[in-house]
């Protein structure tokens, strides 16, 4: 009888130990993954670790993203026009590079704003120009007015090339000014790094466009 009870006790202890191990394993598997703290799409790494390592953001970072998104959108619309309207292959190639660089930056800045709980500018903002200034004069930060965008859309061939280059130079100058302000006043690391890239890339493109216009 004693031996029988001893065997039962050992069996009960074995079951208890196995149950405890299973519970610990389950708890371990339920540890939140980095993606749990990341972006809305559940992707790991970028959405999770970046904010922690990049530092906090401030009002200047929000202003930079909210201002640069519509600015980039307008540049992309102008670049799209070049595909069918430009006469020069060099202008078409430049437009393609502008679109290639700025489309991903729009996506990135939109992601920042969403993660900060800030409003992403509506899709239409920037694509049709800006009403911030009068007819025939450039809008805020080098943005084209609706009238200028309409005139560019109606042009073609060499006339388009000239108008595109002249407008895009002013557009880029506005972006560089915005980026310089971000570098000085922003605090979010990735936003400051993007601003630095914009200054470098768009100043180089301004130089290229000046040469295409025969100014250099």
pLDDT band at 215 (very low <50, low <70, confident <90, very high): confident
Which has the closest alpha carbon to 178: 54, 64, 30?
64
Q: Lowest mean pLDDT of 7-16, 68-77, 133-142, name the range.
A: 7-16
pLDDT at 128: 64
pTM beyond 0.85, yes or no: no
Q: If you average pLDDT over every residue of the chain, what do you get?
A: 79
Q: Return the structure tokens found at 191.
A: 């936003």
Q: Using one digit for the tens of pLDDT, what is the confidence trace for 97-144?
A: 999 999 999 999 999 999 999 999 998 766 766 544 333 344 578 999
What span, in angstroms and rounded, lies between the C-alpha atoms of 140 and 149? 14
pLDDT at 186: 97
pLDDT at 11: 45
pLDDT at 21: 43
- Where residue 118 falls (left for φ over 0; alpha for ψ -120 to 50; beta otherwise) is beta
Q: Which residues contact 190 (CB under 8 A, 6 or more apart)?
A: 50, 54, 108, 112
pLDDT band at 162 (very low <50, low <70, confident <90, very high): very high
CA pseudo-torsion sign 155, 161, 166, 167: positive
Q: Return the structure tokens found at 5.
A: 């009870």
What is the average per-residue pLDDT within 8-19? 45
pLDDT at 52: 36
* SS3 of residue 86 by DSSP: strand
Please provide the distance, in angstroms rounded to a whole number, between the alpha carbons at the two ends of the chain. Answer: 106
pLDDT score of 161 more than 70: yes
pLDDT at 126: 66
36 compared with 64, residue with greater pLDDT: 64
pLDDT at 123: 87
Q: Using CB atoms within 10 A of its CB, is residue 8 exposed (0-12), middle (13-18) or buried (19+)? A: exposed
Q: Using one digit for the tens of pLDDT, what is the confidence trace for 26-62?
A: 444 444 433 333 333 433 333 333 443 467 999 999 9
Distance of CA 37 to the CA centre of its chain: 19
52 compared with 95, residue with greater pLDDT: 95
pLDDT at 206: 98
């Amino acid at each position: 009888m004693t031996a029988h009870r001893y065997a039962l006790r050992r069996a009960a202890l074995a079951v208890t130990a196995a149950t405890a191990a299973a519970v610990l394993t389950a708890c371990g598997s339920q540890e939140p993954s980095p993606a749990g703290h990341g972006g809305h799409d559940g992707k790991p790494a970028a959405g999770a670790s970046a904010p922690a390592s990049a530092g906090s953001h401030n009002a200047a970072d929000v202003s930079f993203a909210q201002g640069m998104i519509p600015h980039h959108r307008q540049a992309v619309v102008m670049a799209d026009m070049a595909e069918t309207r430009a006469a020069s292959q060099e202008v078409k190639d430049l437009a393609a590079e502008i679109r290639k660089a700025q489309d991903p930056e729009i996506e990135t800045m939109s992601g920042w704003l969403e993660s900060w709980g800030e409003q992403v500018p509506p899709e239409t903002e920037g694509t049709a120009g800006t009403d911030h200034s009068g007819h025939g004069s450039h809008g805020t930060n080098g943005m084209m007015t609706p009238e200028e965008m309409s005139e560019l859309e109606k042009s073609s061939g060499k006339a388009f090339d000239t108008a595109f280059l002249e407008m895009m130079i002013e557009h880029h100058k506005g972006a560089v000014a915005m980026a310089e302000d971000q570098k000085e006043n922003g605090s979010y690391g990735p936003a400051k790094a993007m601003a630095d890239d914009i200054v470098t890339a768009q100043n180089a493109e301004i130089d290229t466009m000046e040469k295409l216009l025969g100014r250099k």
